[in-house]
């Protein structure tokens, strides 16, 4: 490993550590805020409205994330996203009691929007931070640390709120966002997203040299305004071309759609777990939920260890086929988790669910990161929109369905839909693979022996041309 690569990885580890700390605060606050909303309003409906506002803000931010990141640097977006969330927590602590309800919904919107913007900027810039060949390792590290942060946040939320109170929980969350902002500030990244893309594509010298060298100041305000207008026009053209290219890739759109249906399935087991756990043991309903998520996290972390070793040994990503198959296994295991099996079998199921969940997230994120830089942020923005929509709609539908149906039947329908879409996606990927192999064989017969895919790209058919 070269010194430059080692330095990139060290900086990335610091950023992931900051992200894990903020994730701990996020999951701690997910419990604390919901309890606080109910304590302030004394209405269960308000809790649902609070979550709806949060997901709606994330949905809208996903729609504009691509164009925003075409003009802003990923570093700036991640920095401000953390600072805004820290400010929202401070607002919640400082606001007078008479305005707590309004402040809660303001915080919900800010956290939903800023959290989505951070994740789109973070995931889309990972190839620039660690290099194209290290994305699987980087994504695996991010997911495993976040999984551990999730368990720690959920596990400690009851203790923090009970012993220290809501104010302490909100201030702790604010502190975690400030720590993450500090780790972002230490990153040496491109001045803006366009420069980053141009540098990656080898065009930075042509499009950005004058600006970097201060030529705009020498040429006067008119030239600077003209250059800014040209950049804005270029950004609009780039955004339109990127969206058109994404729309022309049905396999990629099916992949994003599967992620949205998967999010709907996730909403079902998240909503059904407390209900199912209460029916198992009304005196200690938290036991099953806590054990399930802890074992799930262990499976997730173990999967990341395997993925990192696989990527290091083969220099390949798992690919979109792994995403499709992983989604099938994950959805099936979540359904089985509500089937009433003995504890030993349920622990094995939770372990498999966590491992499959980790596989799907890393393979999905790594695959989108193989897209050209001009399309990458738009793809992640679209993905965030679809995921927020799937989870938000799912929470409303599932919460209603649980009043009339058993947790097993509700989860089976939601995750069963994900399995159906995943089967369609896997069939599409396999057809694309066979067509690609046939085309390669025909090309080889014609005398071109270099037609195969470059080692490590492995897009499995869900790809977009960068041309």
Confidence of residue 192 (pLDDT cuts 50, 70, 90): very low
Query: Where do the structural domains in the chain lie, given as residue ranges?
Result: 1-191, 236-446+455-467
- Whether 1-191 shares its CATH topology with 236-446+455-467 is answered yes
CA distances for 199 relative to 163, 191, 193, 373, angstroms: 51, 11, 10, 10
Percent of the chain clearing pLDDT 90 (strictly above):
25
In DSSP notation, 145-182 reads HHHHHHHHHHHHHHHHHHHH-HHHHHHHHHHHHHHHHH
CA dihedral 93, 120, 255, 335 (to 10 degrees): -30
Determine the pLDDT at residue 274: 78
Cβ contacts of 351 within 8 Å, gap of 6 or more: 295, 296, 298, 299, 302
- Give Cα 43 distance to the centre of its chain: 31
Nearest to 122 by CA among 104, 150, 89, 146: 146
Q: Are 146 and 20 in contact (CB under 8 A)?
A: yes
Dist CA 338 CA 346 (whole Å): 9
Determine the pLDDT at residue 227: 45
Q: Are 271 and 415 in contact (CB under 8 A)?
A: no
Nearest to 79 by CA among 137, 140, 18: 18
Tokens of 77: 């977006």
**Stretch 93-119: mean pLDDT, rounded?**
87
Dist CA 385 CA 389 (whole Å): 6
Tokens of 184: 């972002």
Q: What is the pLDDT of residues 370-424, one digit of tens each?
A: 887 777 888 888 888 888 888 888 888 887 888 888 999 999 999 999 999 999 9
Determine the pLDDT at residue 165: 84
> Hey, which CATH number is domain 236-446+455-467, 3.10.129.10, 3.40.50.300, 1.20.1250.20, 3.20.20.70?
1.20.1250.20
Alpha helices (H) in 165-285, listed in sequence order: 166-185, 193-201, 204-212, 215-247, 250-280
User: What share of residues in the chain are helix, strand, coil (percent, to 5)?
Assistant: 85, 0, 15
Lowest mean pLDDT among 80-84, 93-97, 329-333: 93-97
Task: Count Cα neighbours of 305 within 13 Å in the Cβ-side half-sphere.
Answer: 7
Task: Count Cα neighbours of 263 within 13 Å in the Cβ-side half-sphere.
Answer: 21
Dist CA 24 CA 32 (whole Å): 12
CA dihedral 282, 283, 289, 295 (to 10 degrees): -130
Nearest to 432 by CA among 410, 451, 460, 454: 460
Q: Are 86 and 174 in contact (CB under 8 A)?
A: yes
Determine the pLDDT at residue 354: 92
**Stretch 171-191: mean pLDDT, rounded?**
86
Confidence of residue 217 (pLDDT cuts 50, 70, 90): very low
Determine the pLDDT at residue 247: 59
> Hey, which CATH number is domain 1-191, 1.20.1280.290, 1.20.1250.20, 1.10.357.10, 2.40.128.30?
1.20.1250.20
**Residue 98 clears pLDDT 80, i.e. is over it:** no
């Amino acid at each position: 490993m070269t010194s430059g690569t080692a330095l990139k990885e060290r900086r990335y580890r610091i950023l992931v550590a900051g992200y894990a700390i903020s994730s701990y605060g996020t999951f701690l606050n997910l419990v604390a805020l919901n309890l606080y909303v109910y304590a302030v309003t004394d209405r269960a409906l308000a809790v649902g409205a609070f979550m709806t506002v949060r997901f709606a803000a994330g949905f809208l931010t996903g729609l504009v994330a691509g164009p925003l990141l075409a003009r802003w640097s990923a570093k700036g977006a991640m920095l401000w996203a953390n600072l805004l969330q820290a400010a929202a927590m401070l607002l919640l602590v400082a606001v007078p009691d008479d305005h707590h309800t309004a402040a809660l919904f303001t915080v919900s919107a800010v956290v939903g929007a800023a959290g989505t913007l951070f994740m789109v900027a973070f995931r889309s810039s990972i190839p620039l931070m660690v290099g194209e060949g290290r994305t699987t390792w980087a994504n695996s590290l991010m997911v495993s640390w976040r999984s551990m942060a999730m368990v720690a946040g959920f596990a400690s939320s009851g203790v923090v709120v009970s012993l220290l109170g809501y104010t302490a929980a909100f201030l702790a969350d604010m502190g975690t966002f400030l720590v993450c902002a500090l780790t972002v500030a230490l990153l040496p990244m491109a001045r803006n997203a366009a420069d980053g893309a141009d540098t990656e594509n080898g065009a930075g010298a042509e499009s950005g040299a004058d600006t970097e060298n201060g030529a705009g100041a020498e040429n006067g305000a008119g030239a600077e305004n003209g250059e800014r207008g040209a950049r804005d026009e270029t950004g609009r053209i780039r955004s339109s071309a990127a969206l058109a290219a994404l729309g022309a890739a049905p396999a990629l759109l099916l992949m994003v759609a599967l992620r949205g249906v998967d999010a709907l399935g996730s909403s079902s087991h998240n909503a059904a777990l407390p209900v199912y756990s209460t029916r198992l043991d009304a005196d200690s309903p938290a036991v099953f939920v806590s054990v399930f998520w802890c074992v799930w996290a262990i499976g997730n972390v173990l999967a990341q260890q395997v993925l990192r070793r696989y990527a290091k040994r083969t220099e390949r990503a798992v690919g979109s086929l792994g995403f499709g198959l992983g989604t099938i296994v994950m959805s099936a295991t979540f359904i089985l988790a509500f089937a009433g099996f003995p504890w030993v079998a349920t622990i094995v199921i939770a372990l498999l669910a966590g491992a499959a969940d980790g596989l799907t997230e890393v393979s999905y994120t790594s695959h989108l990161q193989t897209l050209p830089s001009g399309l990458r942020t738009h793809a992640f923005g679209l993905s965030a929109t679809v995921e927020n929509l799937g989870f938000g709609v799912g929470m409303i539908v599932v919460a209603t369905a649980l009043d009339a149906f058993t947790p097993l039947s509700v989860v089976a329908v939601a995750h069963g839909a994900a399995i159906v879409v995943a089967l369609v996606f896997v069939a599409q990927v396999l057809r694309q693979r066979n067509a690609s192999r046939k085309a390669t064989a025909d090309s080889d017969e014609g005398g071109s022996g270099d037609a195969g895919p470059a080692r490590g790209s492995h897009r499995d058919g869900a790809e977009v041309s960068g041309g």
